[in-house]
Amino acid sequence: MALHPNPHVFGVPMAAGTADTLHEQQLRQQAVVVPVPPTQILQGPSPTPPQQPPPWIADESVPVAPPCHPHPSFSEQGMWEPSRTTQSSASLKATTQTTAAVPCGFQSQQVTLPTGKVNFVAEGPEGPARTVVCVHGIGASWLTFEPLIPFLCSRGLRVLAFDLYGFGKSVAASGRRLDRDLYIDQLLGLMDEVLMPEERKVCLLGFSMGGVLAAEFARRHPERVGKLLLIAPGGFLKKELTPCGPFIFKGLRGRLGGLLVSLAGCLVGCCEALTCGRLKRRLASSPSVRDFFTPDVREPANFEHRITVNVANFTGNLRRSITSYLTALRRMPLWEEDFAKEYDQLAAGPVPILFMWGLDDNTIPWEEVQVRVTKTFSRRKASCIRIPAAGHGMMMEDTEQVANCVGAWFTDSADPAWHHCLQQFQLIGEPTSVNEPRLGDQHA
């Protein structure tokens, strides 16, 4: 399906009969689509609405991320404050039904590239607009960015999110192994096939393992990236701090790692055949499996549906899911020792970079990577916006707050207070220790 010459690929439903995941079928049944002016940020009920304004400033010496509001504006102190709008509460409510808490019915499309079949969604205005290309993490799919899409589209941005090969519904061509080279080729091929010629340069958003891939793409193809935003990216943690280190580094990433992956796939395939589907049903209801897919958020109970969807998608093709996950652990440069040189080269390159991190991230803790991130990117005067009390899953739990910052960065907001905010979070020098950050102190 050649989509390159079609300027209407964004926001157009796919042909009837295209196979969907369980979640996508549920989304269409519950779809609520509300037209919103491009300049208006959506504001809707968050999963856990606070009873009173949160204490954003916990420590005056350390800058904190701005809270979320429909129109981002800033106080003189550089913190985000609600805009004084003339809308009535009734009219505001009418424009906020499509939010992170309400499924929006996005429908995926598929395109065949030389590297394989790619499943993707493209949303946003059909006219000229900046395109944000989103790259998800290990064991996930384009649904990682589902909460952000309506917020970014409301800012006049177009969003292209896709499944990496081996995850979701994207399938690599026969004979291609899952590694960073394949994923870079996949991203480049998808952009060339789906986007119009005038969209040659895009805004690139990478999350977790997808942050490594987005950084590598920007390093190899800086002419294709206008701006880069990395949300809690991999490639900074030290191997010595990794749980299950011996299994990963001496087993999976050792000389016999490929054999271990193949054996795991064969074992799962045999178990599926012998149990006639009972294995999948047991795994789907297993508390341990559900715990594994529970997102790193403050209130996991608010995301039971998301957990169920993630488990269902993973167990839908269990053998493929397990082998893809283990292969990513085996071949992807997810640790500092594997990717330090590439980050150094990215920092020396021309692409503008912004980081975002949750201060309660338990997957890639900020306190464990702060020194390396600051040492590498302070030379670029890059900033890292840290969100208090946010975990690795901040895009689903702190959606509006993340979207406000993403939108301001990719739309080149001219608001002086936004630039002051970036200065507050600027990576300065090298911290003396992870417990005594000096980030932004000079701009307080």
List of domains in the chain: 99-241+335-443 (3.40.50.1820), 249-331 (no CATH)
Across 373-380, average pLDDT? 95
The predicted pLDDT at position 199 comes to: 82
Closest residue by Cα to residue 421 from 411, 430, 409? 409
Contact 119, 190 (CB under 8 A): no
Across 325-335, average pLDDT? 92
How large a percentage of the chain has pLDDT more than 70? 73
The set of residues, in sequence order, having a beta carbon less than 8 Å from that of 10 and lying 6+ positions away, is 122, 123, 124, 125, 126, 158
d(CA 407, CA 421): 14
Q: How confident is the model at residue 433 (pLDDT cuts 50, 70, 90)?
A: very low
The predicted pLDDT at position 51 comes to: 35
pLDDT at residue 33 tops 90? no
Across 355-363, average pLDDT? 96
**Of the given ranges (307-316, 389-398, 408-417), which has the lowest mean pLDDT?**
307-316
Answer with the residue of higher pLDDT: 397 or 45. Answer: 397
Question: Tokens for 238?
Answer: 């030290």
- Which of helix, strand or coil describes residue 185? helix
Contact 126, 7 (CB under 8 A): yes
Apex 146 CA angle, 402 and 28, nearest 5: 150
Q: How confident is the model at residue 212 (pLDDT cuts 50, 70, 90)?
A: very high
Q: How confident is the model at residue 198 (pLDDT cuts 50, 70, 90)?
A: confident
Answer with the residue of higher pLDDT: 24 or 123. Answer: 123
Highest mean pLDDT among 67-71, 192-196, 210-214, 419-423: 210-214
pLDDT at residue 323 tops 80? yes
pLDDT at residue 346 tops 90? yes
The predicted pLDDT at position 246 comes to: 80
pLDDT by residue (tens digit) across 37-87?
A: 333 322 333 333 333 333 322 333 344 444 433 333 333 333 333 232 222
Q: Label residues 318-344 b or e (16+ Cβ within 10 Å = b).
A: bbbbbbbbbbbbbbbbbbbebbeebbe
Across 363-390, average pLDDT? 95
Question: Identity (one letter) of the amino acid at 135?
Answer: V
